[in-house]
Chain A
Amino acid sequence: MKLDEALDISLRAVDREIQNIVKYDKDVPRSSTLAKSIIDQIQSGGKRIRPLMVIVGSRFGKPQDKRKIWQLAAAAEFIHAASLIHDDIIDNSSLRRGQPALHVKLGVYEALHVGNYMSARVIELISTYSAERERYAYDLSSLVTTQLCIGEYQQLTHLYDYDVTIEEYIEKSKNKTAQLMASCLRIGALAAGVDEATADLLYSFGEKLGISFQIRDDILDFTQSSEKLGKPAGSDLRHGQVTLPVLFALEDEPLAPRIRAISADTPSQLIDPVIAAIQQSDALAKTEQLSKHYLDEAAALIDQLSAYPAHKDLRVLLDFFSGRDR
């Protein structure tokens, strides 16, 4: 069963709400390149994990205004989608969900500002609706996005740095991926009137799921076929990103010097056998173990929230994150 079905949330309704963000912007003509680009981007699909997490968070309280929850959910996806547009520019990725990336269609400058528009539109919406100074709603546009950039800066600083520690890797993963997911649950909960302590527990749960999600993503970079990935296996390492599987592989004494020899100038054919050696080592199993450790910690948090009927939705999220394509 799909995540949205398991959570009994209409993905069509989520998508409609996301599209409404641009459709109801009086400053953007519906026939404009900007509106079309965003609608195309939304219609290209996606699991909408982040909006679903906002709605799950809200189920821990009694939302006075359900519309507000859905708007927040849509805003979370807008922030995520904007970050993907900029990620594709930074990574020079030509494809997004099998379609040409936005910067390929429009050009770097235009795509960059489409992403900026999406982030700015979210700030506008939140500032309109947060008349009562509900500062938590701003987390999406301030704390989360600042930390997202910090995660990217950390990644940039540590390119081809084989001395990076596991703690530093986890810190970067929190900033880049986990914080937004964690904030989605927390913001949904606070918007539904949940107390701070419960909202913080939901944040911790989301953070652990997010870290596990990032670790799993880094495993998939080694295990999925190049056709499915749309890029060669081990692409992260080829671009200097020292992910968790590489850190564990560096503990293998014969393998470590071969990995450390990889630099920006190393030709791809010399990297191929090192990638193959990492795939055959026990590094992926160790990485999987750490991912599972975070999922176990998340599961323990569900127990602490068992008084809420909505805790069953956390189990659904946990199962989804545990079962992502291997």
Chain B
Amino acid sequence: METKLVQDACLLLQGEISPESGIHLKLQQEDVLPMVSLLDQYDLTPVRKQRHLSIYIAIKLALQSHMCCDNCTGETLTRKVLNGDYLYSLYVQLCLKWEEYDLLTHLAPIVKRIQIKHVEGNPQDTLLIEGWEWFLQFEGNCSRAIQAI
């Protein structure tokens, strides 16, 4: 695993998170490994790789935060709900800040479908990484087509 990429992405994301949220990123290797492997396959600049990974982590942690709300009460429940909500809106903010408009347009329906699957009781969070791969492939194809022209 590209430890430096993960560290840099976490630092970048933590820097964007408001201290008032009290969110401190804690990641398991398996949370980011699929995305790191995916990014490795594409010719993105190091800065863009970091940004994509940061956005991915924000969505992934938002999903996880809401995933385990069922058995919580009181302040723990409140924090989990708020952290998820905050990270979902932060991912949009980051896409806008880093001018990843096409990525946002591509991710929006995927994140929505993930929510639908959760309501249906049939979570399919792998849709996120699959959708991301599709985006990177599409973007790569476009840039190759432009070069060919």
Contact = CB atoms under 8 A, between A and B. Distances in A.
Interface stretch (A61-69, A133-141, A284-292, A307-315): A133-141
B115 A142 contact: no
Secondary structure dominating the interface of A: helix
Given A28-B116, A33-B119, A149-B89, A112 B21 contact: no
Given A28-B116, A86-B81, A127 B105 contact: yes
Given A113-B118, A138-B96, A124 B108 contact: yes
A148 B81 CA distance: 13
Contacts of B105: 127-128
A109 B75 contact: no
Contacts of A146: 18, 86, 89-90, 93
Interface in B48-92: 66, 69-70, 75, 77-79, 81-82, 84-86, 88-90, 92
B21 A153 contact: yes
A179 interface: no
A265 interface: no
A120 B109 CA distance: 7
A204 B112 CA distance: 32
Contacts of B88: 116, 119-120, 145
A121 B112 contact: yes
A17 interface: no
A113 B66 contact: yes
A174 B79 CA distance: 20
B21 A149 contact: yes
A89 interface: yes
Contacts of B115: 113-114, 116-117, 120
Contacts of A27: 109, 112-113, 116
A109 B81 contact: no
Interface residues of B, number: 36
Contact of A124 (B21, B70, B81, B109): B109
A117 B111 CA distance: 8
B92 A90 contact: no
- Main secondary structure, interface of B, reads helix
Contacts of A86: 81, 85
A305 interface: no
A143 interface: yes
A114 B66 CA distance: 12
A127 B104 CA distance: 7
Contacts of B75: 156
A108 B70 contact: yes
Contacts of B116: 27-28, 34, 117
A152 interface: yes
Interface in B18-70: 18, 20-22, 66, 69-70
Contacts of B21: 149-150, 153
A153 B82 contact: yes
Contact of A90 (B20, B78, B86): B78
A141 B96 CA distance: 11
Interface in A229-255: none
Q: Which of A27, A113, A114, A119 has the most CB of B within 10 A?
A: A113
A149 B85 contact: yes
Interface string A10-52: 0000000000000000011000111000000000000000000
Interface string A87-109: 00110000000000000000111
5 contacts: A28-B116, A33-B119, A153-B86, A156-B82, A157-B20
Given A116-B84, A141-B92, 4 more contacts: A89-B81, A117-B115, A149-B89, A157-B20
